[in-house]
């Protein structure tokens, strides 16, 4: 056990800072054995709060070398250095506080603060990393102007970057040089960044709507020069989009992107100097899949959009994290929807929300999008804060409509520019601009859990009316046994017998078109539609207008009908998933022995349908993932669900063998790779057909896979072929291709990560002994989060059959790795352990074994605060 429980931080204890900082002057000297940071802070007492005589500055793992006040050395009696604080006594109303610290970036394995990644210096300060660089008021409501002078050896570190604009550079003695940067915009310390390295620079430029020219620069290691085009193109598209859709213009003369190999998260929106995990920014057709291209497109946009939603207007405290993250995810997902197929984009977001976020919201870590408390803030960068947060903003958008929403966002940016604010300020701006009352809607910010909507309907032929009743409830979550009803938009349509949308008219109202949005506010509401001449099939929650679980007793025939007729693409897909889920569950529970022929005929029709968007067809044909099936099942039996899912897959593949071959031939690879919706859809269908055929050990498909693997001009097709073979029973071909792949790509870390993940996530290739062998592989590196994620993370998160092996070996393996990683990188260790906290979802024997593994972690003497919080909450 840990010796003392970490402190819980509570929103209700928030107080304004007693001191403010107007200006920060940093001088950072980079050396081979450490770095010296000279900091000068213009500090003054905050006039709007009760004066305090002591100034407390945050600091972690710092060696303090000097403290001065207005240039004078401070005597030892005037200050105290404790574990994580520097206290200055008898602080005057205002003063220049000087602090010199010595830090060791070379030994920084946590990757928070200043660290080294493959020879370059870089920083990560969100959420509380700046205090690992120097003593500071490290809280987002303290906003200061930063001037940063970096000094380093000229040969080793020719490129020295920080936020803002470059204002000075000069050579220094002993082969060193300095570059000085100034950021005119006041910002919290979490947005500070600096980089020093031997990097190549890719230039581009962007002319803003008002005609200013912005230099765009991307900095990468020389071997990655050819992998910048996609990110730069995406950046320019995102800059234009934010001008057009939100009226937001870029505000500095230069915008920089840096790629680093060792990074805890995806990317970081530091002002003017975004830093990316290499895997989220570098791409070429030969090395990155379509999914990676999409990921880069959305993350580049996401970080860029933060310049307004996060930087110009920032968070008052970390409980408000969703203020910037929920809003920015909503913005980037709308951006992505505008680039490709809106429906397919929505399907991907909802799929991830319903699989990962719903699971989080029904587990021990469930929290509202504005949490009330935390032990370690890095644990709250969650799918709830991000994805559910985005859904909440989307609901405001649906309730207000696009024009009023835009008026609300304009007002928000104008009113709060340069401020650190709360989610409530955001909602208030939306209310003030629209005149709508969002009082009840605000419950989404402080109630956790996924609401359930139970739908009942009846048709009365005599009066030609159709009644729909909608009841809402929300299960208890930790600390919240009872929930008040939510306010949500519910879009629906009614399909007539010919499959067309009926004209909708509520009793006593004007006709309202063929799809309408209902306002749900009560525990139970009834809607009566008139002039309905025959019993309709309802198309409920079109476009997934609210993040809720929907219960309606669909018959399989109704689902078949929706699959072929619904005018809402999202709901067509949703019906296909519900049909497949129903069939799989019936098999898993032993209620049915054979795969329902209706599912086969639905898939067959889809394979032959060339009127529908092929990208949508590919999504509709994808069976619900095992993770999603588990999420839906109380007391899940993983093996039974997996076997039922496999039975459906192989029986579909057998029945549709000829159609699948035909689909494969109908979508040949074009001569050159293009990142277009059409080509991506064709690749998705082609690779899906291959995977299905290989699931039944089809020899002819193996030939196709081998030749596709050998001839592919892009990574989507190469990896698609490899994955299909790796997941098949063709053990010899699997090994040959895996060896060949590694031989060819071993010099490229991003591709090696794909190679790890395709094995670690595979039921066939990813057995525990094989996972252990991967961890012994020369390319595996404990210090690199991407490697840890692509082997251990992929095993525990995607290879559910092997992770949940009945003997519990997967669980104790994971516990062991978490314990091993915790001392060097607690943030990643805490993320890795979370699959074990989902034990309530599983049948009792499984749940017991998972808890045993958690207790093993809990028993460690020196657990980090990060891992302690997840494990202790996971056991409660
Ligand atoms: N703020 C980053 C984003 O969402 C994520 C991040 C959080 C990165 C913490 C690093 C550390 O864009
Ligand atoms: Zn973000």
Ligand of minimum distance to the alpha carbon of 122: 1
> Does residue 521 sit in helix, strand or coil?
coil
Integer CA distances (angstroms), 123 to 99, 268, 275, 831, in order: 19, 10, 8, 21
CA atoms within 13 A on the CB side of 282: 24
Ligand of minimum distance to the alpha carbon of 300: 1
User: What's residue 3's pLDDT?
Assistant: 64
Query: Is 293:283 a contact under the CB 8 Å cutoff?
Result: yes
> Does residue 675 sit in helix, strand or coil?
coil
Mutate to test the pocket of ligand 1, among 110, 269, 300 (most ligand atoms within 8 A of CB): 269
CATH 2.60.40.1730 domain range(s) in the chain: 1-105+129-198
Q: Is the peptide bond before 127 cis (omega within 30 degrees of 0)?
A: yes
Structure tokens at 337: 């929807």
Residues that are catalytic: 303
Q: At what angle do helices 715-726 and 677-695 cross, to 10 degrees?
A: 20
Rounded CA separation 228/706 (Å): 30
In this prediction, residues 118-142 reach a mean pLDDT of 98
CA angle, corner 266, sides to 260 and 268, nearest 5?
Answer: 75
End-to-end Cα, the chain, rounded Å: 15
Nearest ligand 1 atom to alpha carbon 112: 11
Structure tokens at 189: 């310390």
Rounded CA separation 700/64 (Å): 69
DSSP 61-115: S-EEEEEEETTEEPPGGGEEEETTEEEESS--SEEEEEEEEEE-GGG--S--EEE
Q: What is the pLDDT of residues 86-106, one digit of tens each?
A: 999 999 999 999 999 999 999
Q: What is the pLDDT of residues 344-361, one digit of tens each?
A: 999 999 999 999 999 999
Query: Is 811:853 a contact under the CB 8 Å cutoff?
Result: yes
In 3D space, the residue among 538, 537, 540, 494 whose CA is nearest the CA of residue 514 turns out to be 494
Interval between CA 125 and ligand 1 midpoint (Å): 9
Interval between CA 4 and ligand 1 midpoint (Å): 29
Nearest ligand 1 atom to alpha carbon 325: 4
Q: What one-character DSSP code corresponds to residue 833?
A: T
- Residue in the block written with tokens 């277009």: 676
Query: Is 157:265 a contact under the CB 8 Å cutoff?
Result: no
Interval between CA 87 and ligand 1 midpoint (Å): 29
Q: In CATH, which of 1.25.50.10, 3.40.50.300, 3.40.50.970, 1.10.540.10 is domain 558-874?
A: 1.25.50.10
In 3D space, the residue among 33, 55, 38 whose CA is nearest the CA of residue 46 turns out to be 55
CA angle, corner 818, sides to 814 and 823, nearest 5?
Answer: 165
Interval between CA 770 and ligand 1 midpoint (Å): 33
In this prediction, residues 59-72 reach a mean pLDDT of 98
CA angle, corner 81, sides to 80 and 87, nearest 5?
Answer: 55
Integer CA distances (angstroms), 845 to 585, 836, 848, 851, in order: 20, 14, 5, 10
In the sheet that 79-82 helps form, which strands lie side by side, from edge to edge?
55-58, 85-88, 79-82
Going by CA atoms, what residue is nearest to atom 12 of ligand 1?
268
Rounded CA separation 402/334 (Å): 12
User: What's residue 2's pLDDT?
Assistant: 66
Interval between CA 735 and ligand 1 midpoint (Å): 38
Torsion sign (Cα): 527, 530, 536, 542 = negative
pLDDT > 70 in the chain, percent: 100
Strand (E) positions, 685-819?
Answer: none
CATH 1.25.50.10 domain range(s) in the chain: 558-874
pLDDT > 90 in the chain, percent: 99
Q: What is the pLDDT of residues 155-196, one digit of tens each?
A: 999 999 999 999 999 999 999 999 999 999 999 999 999 999
Q: For the stretch 202-238, what's the b/e string if a residue is b when 16 or more beta carbons lie within 10 angstroms of its beta carbon? A: bebebeeeeeeebebbbbbbeebeebbebbbebbbbb
Look at the domain 308-546 and name its fold.
Neutral Protease; domain 2 (1.10.390)
Interval between CA 17 and ligand 1 midpoint (Å): 24
In this prediction, residues 112-136 reach a mean pLDDT of 98
User: What's residue 1's pLDDT?
Assistant: 58
Rounded CA separation 316/418 (Å): 11
User: What's residue 376's pLDDT?
Assistant: 98
Ligand 1 pocket at CB < 6 A? 124, 126-127, 265, 267-269, 302-303, 325, 381
In this prediction, residues 316-333 reach a mean pLDDT of 99
Q: What is the pLDDT of residues 465-493, one digit of tens each?
A: 999 999 999 999 999 999 999 999 999 99
Answer yes or no: pTM beyond 0.95. yes
Ligand of minimum distance to the alpha carbon of 277: 1
User: What's residue 83's pLDDT?
Assistant: 85
Model ipTM value: 0.99
Residue 704 has pLDDT above 70, yes or no: yes
In this prediction, residues 31-51 reach a mean pLDDT of 98
Going by CA atoms, what residue is nearest to atom 2 of ligand 1?
268
Q: What one-character DSSP code corresponds to residue 623?
A: P
Integer CA distances (angstroms), 820 to 255, 565, 849, in order: 39, 53, 20
Going by CA atoms, what residue is nearest to atom 3 of ligand 1?
268
> Does residue 827 sit in helix, strand or coil?
helix
Nearest ligand 1 atom to alpha carbon 302: 12
Residue 4 has pLDDT above 90, yes or no: no
Q: What is the pLDDT of residues 635-674, one digit of tens each?
A: 999 999 999 999 999 999 999 999 999 999 999 999 999 9
* CATH number of the domain located at residue range(s) 1-105+129-198 in this protein: 2.60.40.1730
Ligand of minimum distance to the alpha carbon of 390: 2
- Residue in the block written with tokens 């609210």: 546
Which residues face 21 on adjacent strands?
A: 43
Rounded CA separation 436/440 (Å): 11
Structure tokens at 533: 């001449």
Rounded CA separation 364/837 (Å): 7
Mutate to test the pocket of ligand 1, among 190, 265, 323 (most ligand atoms within 8 A of CB): 265
Q: What one-character DSSP code corresponds to residue 136?
A: B
Query: Is 260:193 a contact under the CB 8 Å cutoff?
Result: no
For the chain, give the mean pLDDT: 98
In 3D space, the residue among 730, 816, 733, 806 whose CA is nearest the CA of residue 772 turns out to be 816
Integer CA distances (angstroms), 76 to 41, 64, 83, 101, 111, in order: 20, 12, 17, 16, 32
Integer CA distances (angstroms), 394 to 327, 330, 354, 398, 692, in order: 9, 7, 16, 6, 36
């Amino acid at each position: 056990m840990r010796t003392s429980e970490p402190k819980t931080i509570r929103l209700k204890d928030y107080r304004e800072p007693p001191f403010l900082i107007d200006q920060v002057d940093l001088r950072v000297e980079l050396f081979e054995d450490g770095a010296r940071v000279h900091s000068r802070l213009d500090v003054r007492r905050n006039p709007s709060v009760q004066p305090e005589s002591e100034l407390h500055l945050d600091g972690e793992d710092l060696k303090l070398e000097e403290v001065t006040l207005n240039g004078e050395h401070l005597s030892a009696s005037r200050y105290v250095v404790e574990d994580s604080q520097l206290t200055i006594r008898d602080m005057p109303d205002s003063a220049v506080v000087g602090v010199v610290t010595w830090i060791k970036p070379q030994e920084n394995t946590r990757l928070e603060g200043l660290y080294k990644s493959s020879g370059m210096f870089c920083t990560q300060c969100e959420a509380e990393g700046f205090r690992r660089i120097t003593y500071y008021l490290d809280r987002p409501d303290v906003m200061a102007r930063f001037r940063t002078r970096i000094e380093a050896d000229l040969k080793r570190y020719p490129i020295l970057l920080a936020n803002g604009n470059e204002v000075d550079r000069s050579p220094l003695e002993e082969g060193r040089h300095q570059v000085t940067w100034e950021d005119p915009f006041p910002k919290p310390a979490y947005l500070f960044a600096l980089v020093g390295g031997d990097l190549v620079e890719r230039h581009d430029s962007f002319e803003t709507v008002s005609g200013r020219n912005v230099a765009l620069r991307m900095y990468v290691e020389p071997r990655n020069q050819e992998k910048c085009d996609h990110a730069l193109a995406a950046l320019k598209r995102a800059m234009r989009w934010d001008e057009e859709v939100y009226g937001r213009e870029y505000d500095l003369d230069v915008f920089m992107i840096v790629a680093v190999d060792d990074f805890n998260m995806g990317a970081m929106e530091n002002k003017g100097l975004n830093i990316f995990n290499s895997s989220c920014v570098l791409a070429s057709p030969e090395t990155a899949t379509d999914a990676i291209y999409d990921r880069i497109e959305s993350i580049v946009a996401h970080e860029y959009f933060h310049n307004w939603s996060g930087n110009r207007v920032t968070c008052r405290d970390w409980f408000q994290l969703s203020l910037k993250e929920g809003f920015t995810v909503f913005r980037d997902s709308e951006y992505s929807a505008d680039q490709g197929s809106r429906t397919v984009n929505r399907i991907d977001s909802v799929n991830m929300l319903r699989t990962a976020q719903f699971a989080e919201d029904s587990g021990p870590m469930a929290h509202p999008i504005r949490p009330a408390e935390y032990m370690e803030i890095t644990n709250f960068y969650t799918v709830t804060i991000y994805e559910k947060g985005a859904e909440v903003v989307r609901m405001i958008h649906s309730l207000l409509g696009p024009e009023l929403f835009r008026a609300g966002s304009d007002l928000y940016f104008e009113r709060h520019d340069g401020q650190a604010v709360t989610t409530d300020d955001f909602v208030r701006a939306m209310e003030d601009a629209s005149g709508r009352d969002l009082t009840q809607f605000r419950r989404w910010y402080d109630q956790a859990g996924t609401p359930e909507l139970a739908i009942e309907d009846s048709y009365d032929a005599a009066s030609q009316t159709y009644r729909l009743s909608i009841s809402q409830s929300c299960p208890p979550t930790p600390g919240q046994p009872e929930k008040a009803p939510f306010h949500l938009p519910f879009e629906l349509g009614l399909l007539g017998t010919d499959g067309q949308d009926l004209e909708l008219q509520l009793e006593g109202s004007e006709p309202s078109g063929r799809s309408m949005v209902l306002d749900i506010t009560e525990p139970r509401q009834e809607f009566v539609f008139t002039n309905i001449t025959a019993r309709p099939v309802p198309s409920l929650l079109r476009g997934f207008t609210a993040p809720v679980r929907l219960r309606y007793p669909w018959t399989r025939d109704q689902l078949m009908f929706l699959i072929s007729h619904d005018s809402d693409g999202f709901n067509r897909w949703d019906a296909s998933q519900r049909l497949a889920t129903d069939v799989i569950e019936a098999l898993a529970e032993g209620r049915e022995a054979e795969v329902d022929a209706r599912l086969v005929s639905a898939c067959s029709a889809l394979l032959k349908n060339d009127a529908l968007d092929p990208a949508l067809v590919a999504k509709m044909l994808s069976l619900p993932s095992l993770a999603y099936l588990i999420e839906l099942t109380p007391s899940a039996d993983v093996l039974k669900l997996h076997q039922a899912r496999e039975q459906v897959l192989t029986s579909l593949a057998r029945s549709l063998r000829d159609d699948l071959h035909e689909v494969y031939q109908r979508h040949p690879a074009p001569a050159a790779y293009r990142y277009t919706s059409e080509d991506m859809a064709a690749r998705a269908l082609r690779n899906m057909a291959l995977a299905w055929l290989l699931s039944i050990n089809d020899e002819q498909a193996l030939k196709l896979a081998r030749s596709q693997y050998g001839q592919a001009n892009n990574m989507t097709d190469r990896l698609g072929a490899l994955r299909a073979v790796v997941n098949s029973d063709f053990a010899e071909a699997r090994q040959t291709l895996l060896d060949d792949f590694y031989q060819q790509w071993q010099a490229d870390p991003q591709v090696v990560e794909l190679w790890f993940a395709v094995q670690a996530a595979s039921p066939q290739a990813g057995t525990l002994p094989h996972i252990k062998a991967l961890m012994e592989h020369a390319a595996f590196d404990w210090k690199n989060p991407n490697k840890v994620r692509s082997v251990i993370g992929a095993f525990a998160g995607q290879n559910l059959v092997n992770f949940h092996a009945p003997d519990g070996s997967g669980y104790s393996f994971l516990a062991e790795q978490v314990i091993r990683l915790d001392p060097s990188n607690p943030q990643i260790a805490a993320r890795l352990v979370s699959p074990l906290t989902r034990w309530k979802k599983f049948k009792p024997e499984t749940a017991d074994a998972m808890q045993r593994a958690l207790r093993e972690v809990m028993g460690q003497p020196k657990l980090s605060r990060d891992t302690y919080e997840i494990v202790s909450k996971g056991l409660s």
